[in-house]
């Protein structure tokens, strides 16, 4: 089957934080977007979220024809997906809900339209079980804010055609993303499994009174987080091994893996721990609203992305390297 890769109309099922991020990214790349969300007041909330992103997108650079006015909100799944070339579902993480949604989405969509889900952990083989033409169904797991962060994890299920995975990668590249093909269906995929391990350790440190939420964030943003933005973990540790590289690093620091530095299992989410986390993050927010800090975050991300891009060009590297 030939799957559509040159898309003109992008359908968004769900208009929350992730769904609205997809809408903003698609609009910024000059596409027509049709959206559906059953929540009361969903259209107004979606348009407000898109408007809040637009300054960052203008700063990043809009594609020809990009306009918020190209967003159309409809009142049914069928109307949303009927004429779409590419469909992105961003509904809550409930298997029964996803099964129902994708049964309806796939029945109403064009047979050769790709269908993707933003799920962060549910397996495509499970929630695409009742879909029509399941060979064109994939996971396209993005990261918040979707309209700026380029990573999207692409995962196929047991019925997904290899051509559909490649077609989805092509589509995501066309809207400025950096697709990462996840080779196996594993819960949490790649990035969230790494983030989950860090999150568990952070909760233990708060629970045990070792550090506040702000101190833990400082440990990341003034340390490893700066390196992660351009080099990642394995290459960082390769350099830490000196001229001998990773083999020397593994020999030198490998024994530390046997030390009880980490808990691995998550702590119990007691009310006391939840209060500590909420109080700590409330202190971190200070006088600023969430929307104000979203704009601050976007400015920081644009600055980091531009700095990394400029430095890579100086050293003869492409942005994707």
pLDDT tens for each residue of 23-40: 999 999 999 999 999 999
Between the two ends of the chain, the Cα-to-Cα distance in Å is 32
User: Per-residue confidence at 318, pLDDT binned at 50, 70, 90?
Assistant: confident
**pLDDT at 15 (0 to 100):** 97
Q: Is 188 exposed, middle or buried (0-12, 13-18, 19+ CB in 10 A)?
A: middle
Tokens of 219: 């440990």
Coil, strand or helix at 11: strand
Name the fold adopted by 9-181. Answer: Rossmann fold (3.40.50)
- Which of these, 301, 3, 16, 48, lies nearest to 151 by C-alpha position? 301
Tokens of 103: 């049964």
Asked if residue 145 has a cis previous peptide bond (ω within 30° of 0), the answer is yes
**pLDDT at 263 (0 to 100):** 77
Q: Is the pLDDT of residue 131 over 80?
A: yes
Rg (CA), the chain: 21
Range from 121-130, 233-242, 281-290 that averages highest in pLDDT: 121-130
242 φψ region: left (φ > 0), alpha (ψ -120 to 50), beta (else): left
Tokens of 281: 């993050």
Q: Which CATH architecture has domain 191-286?
A: Orthogonal Bundle (1.10)
Sign of CA dihedral 69, 111, 156, 169: negative
* DSSP conformation class of 67: -
User: How many other C-beta atoms lie within 10 A of the C-beta of residue 97?
Assistant: 12
Q: Is the pLDDT of residue 235 over 90?
A: no
- Which of these, 306, 146, 315, lies nearest to 229 by C-alpha position? 306
**pLDDT at 237 (0 to 100):** 85
Strands (E), the chain: 9-13, 32-36, 71-73, 86-89, 114-117, 137-141, 151-156, 178-181
Largest alpha-carbon pair distance within the chain? 61
Q: Is 201 exposed, middle or buried (0-12, 13-18, 19+ CB in 10 A)?
A: middle
107-111, 262-266, 291-295, range with the lowest pLDDT: 262-266
Could you state, in order of their start, the residue ranges of all structural domains in the chain? Answer: 9-181, 191-286
**pLDDT at 16 (0 to 100):** 97
Check: CB of residue 34 under 8 Å from CB of residue 9: yes
- Which of these, 72, 127, 58, 132, lies nearest to 96 by C-alpha position? 127
């Amino acid at each position: 089957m030939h799957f559509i890769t040159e898309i003109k109309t992008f359908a968004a099922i769900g208009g929350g934080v992730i769904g609205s991020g997809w809408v903003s990214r698609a609009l910024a790349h000059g596409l027509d977007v049709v959206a559906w969300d059953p929540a009361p007041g969903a259209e107004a909330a979606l348009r407000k979220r898109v408007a809040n992103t637009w300054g960052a997108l203008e700063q990043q650079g809009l594609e020809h024809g990009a306009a918020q006015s190209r967003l159309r909100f409809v009142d049914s799944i069928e109307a949303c997906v009927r004429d779409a070339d590419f469909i992105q579902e961003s509904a809550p993480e409930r298997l029964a809900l996803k099964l129902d949604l994708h049964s309806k989405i796939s029945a109403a969509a064009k047979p050769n339209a790709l269908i993707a889900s933003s799920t962060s952990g549910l397996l495509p083989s499970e929630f695409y079980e009742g879909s029509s033409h399941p060979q064109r169904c994939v996971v396209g797991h993005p990261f918040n804010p979707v309209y700026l962060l380029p990573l999207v994890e692409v995962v196929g299920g047991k019925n997904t055609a290899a051509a559909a995975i490649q077609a989805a990668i092509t589509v995501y590249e066309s809207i400025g993303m950096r697709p990462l093909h996840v080779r196996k269906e594993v819960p949490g995929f790649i990035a969230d499994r790494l983030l989950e391990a860090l999150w568990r350790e952070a909760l233990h440190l708060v629970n045990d009174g070792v550090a506040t939420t702000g101190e833990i964030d400082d440990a990341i943003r003034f340390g490893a987080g700066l390196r992660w933005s351009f080099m990642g973990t394995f290459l960082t540790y390769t350099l830490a091994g000196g001229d001998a590289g990773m083999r020397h690093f593994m020999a030198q620091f490998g024994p530390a893996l046997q030390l009880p530095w980490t808990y691995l299992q998550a702590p119990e989410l007691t009310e006391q721990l939840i209060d500590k986390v909420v109080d700590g993050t409330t202190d971190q927010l200070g006088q600023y609203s969430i929307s104000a800090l979203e704009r601050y975050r976007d400015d920081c991300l644009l600055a980091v992305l531009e700095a990394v891009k400029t430095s890579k060009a100086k050293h003869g590297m492409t942005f994707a390297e």
